[in-house]
Structure 1
Amino acid sequence: MTDPTSSQPSRLGRRTFLRAAMLAAAALPLAACVGEEDPLAKQAREGNNKNYIAGDGSVQEYGPKSRTEPVEINATAYDGSKIDSADWAGQVTVLNFWYAACAPCRIEAPHMVELSDEFKGKAEFIGINVRDEKDAAEAFERTFGIKYPSVQDTQGAIQLAMTKYVPLQAVPTTLVLDRQGRVSARILGVAEKPTLKALINTALTESL
């Protein structure tokens, strides 16, 4: 008969390997080279699901009658600016949950930058960083030219609060909030530019 404890060392070995891999990925330099694909982004495209909770890019839209109450967030961004959901009334808001060593986050970062510029004055973009301290987060933002603010949520307070609205389930997750501050759409995994753009436009064209 097989000893039921015989698999424990291999499990421990796998856990040790995964932890080491995550720490190594977090230490990778964030500088991007023109014409050279980011190594973590390449890893995500290979589909091996390393260093992040994988999302499949699935989109969930919520009709006005099925939406929960408005999302409430009150925090301070890395740049010192105050983030208060009370200020979002009447505008569409995009919340992007990310961290620097997350390969799919790096794939979608240019899309976020382009769309935040395209919808400037119409939709507010806010990042929620689930893992990084200030230096790592700001290095990522410099690498990809991100100008919109991000909030540190390494303790998970915002992520926990979001469970009463919609489950996040993956990193990255992107939420589109309607002009009443309610979640109108969720993307699990990489937010492709055409998809996110369409979701924002839908939220913008809805009547209050």
Structure 2
Amino acid sequence: MSQTIRPIRARSVARGLALAAVVALVATGCSSTADDLAQQYGNGTTENYISGNGTVTEIAPDDRTDPVEFTAETDAGETVSRSDHDGEVVVLNFWYAACPPCRLEAPELEKLNQAYAGKGVEFLGVNVRDQADTSLAFARTFDVTYPSVVDANDGAVQLALAGTIAPNAVPTTIVLDEQGRIAARILGGLDGPGILDTLISDTLAETS
């Protein structure tokens, strides 16, 4: 069956979600001379990042392709595989420390991580540029408690998504269903936690 991608439908007014149709990516080139984490976190600029526009894409269960499979090392030196989380919804957030929208959305991601703790949802950051020390320093600065993969060296997670609904911007957040298949993607920074919360809860509800 060919894969059909559809924009997420607007939810009720109570949920406050009004979602736009898919549009083209906007490439934004910025420069930064930040040499340390304090400057990176405080100057509001980044190096040549491609920022998405917040487009939300949702894939119906019958249209999803094979499970995403990867094995990678976290910034804490632990090995993690997607298959470790069979039976759980996995939220992948692609980011790096000097990316302004990544810093802005970090607290919202952590709030959702805490809200879904013990409910069959696992959050995993995917750092596409930094090494472990920088990734861990970011987590301490922004009180992020879920792990991040250091993907800058071998691109294992990014390669696993190549040819699918890939993370074509930074940040990007991808929701995998309980079988490890791509269920939804937010291309760009979060505008509050509401849309991602809905995508996670809807994916959880598919098998309940």
| TM-score exceeds 0.5 | yes
Q: Residues 183-198 of structure 1 correspond to what in structure 2 (within 5 A)?
A: 183-192=182-191, 193-198=193-198
Show the counterpart of 1:55.
52
1:179 matched to 2:188? The reply is no
Specify the SS of the correspondent of 1:147.
Answer: coil
What is the TM-score of this pair, normalised by structure 1?
0.78
State whether residues 58 and 188 of structure 1, in contact with CA within 8 Å, keep that contact through their aligned partners in structure 2.
yes
Show the counterpart of 1:202.
202
Q: Distance in 2 between matches of 1:95 and 1:25?
A: 27
Displacement after TM superposition at 1:99 (Å): 0.1
Show the counterpart of 2:78.
81
Displacement after TM superposition at 1:151 (Å): 0.6
**In structure 2, do the counterparts of structure 1 residues 30 and 67 end up closer, same or farther at CA, with 3 Å as the change threshold?**
farther
Q: Distance in 2 between matches of 1:108 and 1:53?
A: 16
Q: Distance in 2 between matches of 1:102 and 1:183?
A: 24
Q: Distance in 2 between matches of 1:120 and 1:165?
A: 28
State whether residues 30 and 143 of structure 1, in contact with CA within 8 Å, keep that contact through their aligned partners in structure 2.
no
Displacement after TM superposition at 1:88 (Å): 1.1
Q: Normalized per residue, which structure has more helix?
A: 1
Displacement after TM superposition at 1:157 (Å): 3.1
**In structure 2, do the counterparts of structure 1 residues 137 and 26 end up closer, same or farther at CA, with 3 Å as the change threshold?**
farther
Show the counterpart of 2:101.
104
**In structure 2, do the counterparts of structure 1 residues 26 and 118 end up closer, same or farther at CA, with 3 Å as the change threshold?**
farther
Q: Distance in 2 between matches of 1:79 and 1:121?
A: 22
State whether residues 71 and 165 of structure 1, in contact with CA within 8 Å, keep that contact through their aligned partners in structure 2.
no
- In structure 2, what residue type is equivalent to 1:56? N
Displacement after TM superposition at 1:80 (Å): 2.2
State whether residues 173 and 185 of structure 2, in contact with CA within 8 Å, keep that contact through their aligned partners in structure 1.
yes
Q: What percentage of residue pairs aligned between the two structures are identical?
A: 46
Q: Distance in 2 between matches of 1:30 and 1:202?
A: 39
- In structure 1, what residue type is equivalent to 2:204? L
Displacement after TM superposition at 1:165 (Å): 2.8
- In structure 2, what residue type is equivalent to 1:131? R
Q: Distance in 2 between matches of 1:57 and 1:25?
A: 26
State whether residues 75 and 133 of structure 2, in contact with CA within 8 Å, keep that contact through their aligned partners in structure 1.
no
Q: Distance in 2 between matches of 1:119 and 1:30?
A: 32
Structure 2 gap ranges (5+): 1-28
Specify the SS of the correspondent of 1:29.
Answer: helix
Specify the SS of the correspondent of 1:204.
Answer: helix
**In structure 2, do the counterparts of structure 1 residues 157 and 171 end up closer, same or farther at CA, with 3 Å as the change threshold?**
same
User: What is the CA RMSD across the aligned residues, in angstroms?
Assistant: 2.1
Displacement after TM superposition at 1:168 (Å): 1.5
What is the TM-score of this pair, normalised by structure 2?
0.78
Structure 1 gap ranges (5+): 1-17, 33-37, 44-48
**Runs of 4+, deviation exceeding 4 Å:** none
